[in-house]
Amino acid sequence: MRTGIWLMILSGITFGLSGSFATALMDNGWSPGGTLVVRLTGAAAITLVIAAIVDRRGLLDAPRHFRTVGVYGSVAVAGVQATFFLSMQHLSVGVTLMIQFLAPIVVIAWEWLVRKRPASTLTIIGTVVALVGAAAVIDVFGGLRLSLVGLGWAGLSMLGNACFFLLSERTSDSLAPIVLLASGMTVAAATAGVLIATQIMSATFATDSVDLAGQQLPWYVPLFLLITVSTVLAYVFGVAGGSRIGSTLMSLVLLSEVLFASVFAWLLIDQSITVVQMLGGAAIVGGVAIARLGGAGAAIQADLPVVRDADQLDAAAANGTDECDRSTDRVG
């Protein structure tokens, strides 16, 4: 359990760096679509090589898990990132992030209603405290502007985020975390390519120097860090941690991403950080601690079945993928 929590904290740290790296690129001519497709394609190439080295047989068996891998890649990875960028065209960053990070509520409700794992009072209290802290960190009401289109995209991003938490714990001997990540990232890169080809998102690139941490750096430095640190490592830590602590606690611990993102934006791209944001960060930590005392994540090892082959794994994950599909269809 402790290892899983630390892995999720590392995931939050590495995910938190992505905003600074992506901003450095987009401030110098990269479009969100261009950043997305290169980020996912690069991550897919790296994770495929790693998976081929450490678990070649598992990688070859990945197509047998096409349902789990397909939803993970298209919805939980590409879908979350693409809908986040599309929402930001209509909503403030704070509102977009806050809607996306309502995912823990969806996860808790789904665990309660579908998996019959009712949340304790302390878990619910901890969730509320952590969400309030996240709202403070991202200054949710700063520059408030609302749009139904933007709210729809943000809602889809939130559901995709919930799917990421729910599917990340569904690994086994026949679908190791690195195989799920490599195959899912390949699907995600293909999905991003479709979004570009259909002009849902545009792709523009630039080769000018970028400003990062007060230094003028070649464009490929933040791009390399975005791919390796904030995508490959972030998702590896996330999937490995999720399989140990379960989707509920995972979704709460990963709220730390907004705190780390604010700190790194202050350090790397000179964005200010306020006392309210620091207090919000403390509330996130406190909320996670309260939820942990309430037993969030404690039942994961006892409740999840031990699965050994593709048929058993897809049966175990079927409810999760079905729910992701149904939820996405309802919002879309």
For residue 190, pLDDT beyond 90: yes
Of the pLDDT bands very low, low, confident and very high (cuts 50, 70, 90), residue 23 is confident
For residue 104, pLDDT beyond 60: yes
Of the pLDDT bands very low, low, confident and very high (cuts 50, 70, 90), residue 1 is low
C-alpha neighbours within 13 Å on the C-beta side of residue 59: 17
Confidence at residue 201, expressed as pLDDT on a 0 to 100 scale? 93
Confidence at residue 170, expressed as pLDDT on a 0 to 100 scale? 65
Predicted confidence (pLDDT) per residue in 4-20, tens digit = 889 989 998 998 888 88
Confidence at residue 173, expressed as pLDDT on a 0 to 100 scale? 54
Say how many C-beta atoms besides its own lie within 10 A of residue 113's C-beta.
11
Average model confidence (pLDDT) across the chain: 81
Secondary structure in 3-state letters for 272-292: CCCHHHHHHHHHHHHHHHHHH
Residue 217's φ and ψ, nearest 5 degrees, are -125, 155
Average pLDDT over every residue of 136-146: 67
Predicted confidence (pLDDT) per residue in 233-242, tens digit = 999 998 888 7
For residue 91, pLDDT beyond 80: no
Helix (H) or strand (E) holding 217: strand 215-217
Confidence at residue 305, expressed as pLDDT on a 0 to 100 scale? 41
Confidence at residue 127, expressed as pLDDT on a 0 to 100 scale? 84
Confidence at residue 303, expressed as pLDDT on a 0 to 100 scale? 45
Q: Name residue, tokens 């394609």.
A: 41
Structure tokens at 30: 């990269």
Q: What's the CA gap between 29 and 23, in Å, rounded? A: 10
Confidence at residue 172, expressed as pLDDT on a 0 to 100 scale? 56
Q: In sequence order, what are the beta bridge partners of 216? A: 211
Q: What's the CA gap between 249 and 188, in Å, rounded? A: 25
Confidence at residue 105, expressed as pLDDT on a 0 to 100 scale? 83
| 239 in Cβ contact with 177 (< 8 Å) | yes
pTM above 0.85, yes or no: no
Predicted confidence (pLDDT) per residue in 256-311, tens digit = 777 788 788 888 877 777 788 788 878 887 887 787 676 555 544 444 443 444 44
| 26 in Cβ contact with 35 (< 8 Å) | yes
For residue 206, pLDDT beyond 90: yes
pLDDT above 70 as % of the chain:
82
Q: What's the CA gap between 224 and 21, in Å, rounded? A: 9
Of the pLDDT bands very low, low, confident and very high (cuts 50, 70, 90), residue 147 is confident
For residue 53, pLDDT beyond 50: yes
